[in-house]
A and B are shown apart, each in its own frame.
Chain A
């Protein structure tokens, strides 16, 4: 079943995107990504180990020909850092894609939306395809698109919290006014959470901890794959309206 979506001319087949952090080892990372069916994997930018050159490289396990590599600016708390990491990521990678994070504080890991907006504008002007991680705020989503964001990535809940979509009504408003793809990023805990995101009409979901932190990450990766598929199918099928009272599903005709 072909059901792709497009960001700035780039086609995406999978509506589940995954992170590569917190796994036991690269082999588990590889297996989990394969089980999830994701075609986009997000990676962080960090110093190369120059003293131990025998250490393994993530890209030996994740084939950039098979997956789209989406570098992120995780760990950046200032606009300057986010710009610096983005520019390095573009040189280390193969595309202009960047998942932009400007983090506001360590406890919540909520985005600093003022810095995020500024960085989005600068990077978009430099030709980056900017995918900002933001709050579930419809006004900010609009402002980010005006600043040049190619897609908007509102959080479901704080990063790594596993709380699921805490404000489906805000996500609904973001979707209603959207002129770019909307990808829920962060905070989902289990398969039903991603199904809800897809039922609301989101274009995709990005997650990491929900798989990597599960007791059986490979099994959870499978579950997430089907959660996304079920939610997407339900969205396209068009759910029934919610009503307070019962509606009989059996006919009255023919009753004795």
Chain B
């Protein structure tokens, strides 16, 4: 959690992101790459969408997330035709 001191009072800052349909408190992450490490996700096998736009893999290190963002993280699962 990021903590800042303001007039001697410590404020604890976190974001709430909607990730795969669930509200998740994110404490450290600012970028997508940082979100992956906070969630324990191996990058490289997933794709990410923020507010319905796909974020290219090359931009994961720099794309900054903000409070309230709606995020989808997907990967490949077993499936042939309609599953």
Contact = CB atoms under 8 A, between A and B. Distances in A.
Interface residues of A, number: 47
Interface in B38-68: 39-41, 45-49, 52, 54-57
A168 interface: no
A26 B77 CA distance: 10
A134 B74 CA distance: 26
B82 interface: yes
A72 B52 CA distance: 19
Contact of B82 (A58, A88, A89, A159): A159
Interface string A201-222: 0000011110010000000000
14 contacts: A42-B80, A44-B83, A48-B74, A59-B45, A59-B75, A84-B49, A88-B72, A91-B55, A92-B45, A92-B76, A93-B76, A206-B80, A208-B79, A212-B80
Interface of B: 19-22, 24, 39-41, 45-49, 52, 54-57, 72-83
Given A42-B79, A47-B72, 7 more contacts: A45-B74, A48-B46, A53-B39, A58-B76, A88-B72, A160-B81, A186-B81
Interface of A: 18-23, 26, 29, 42-48, 50-51, 53, 57-59, 69, 71-72, 74-75, 84, 87-93, 101, 103, 109, 133, 159-160, 185-186, 206-209, 212
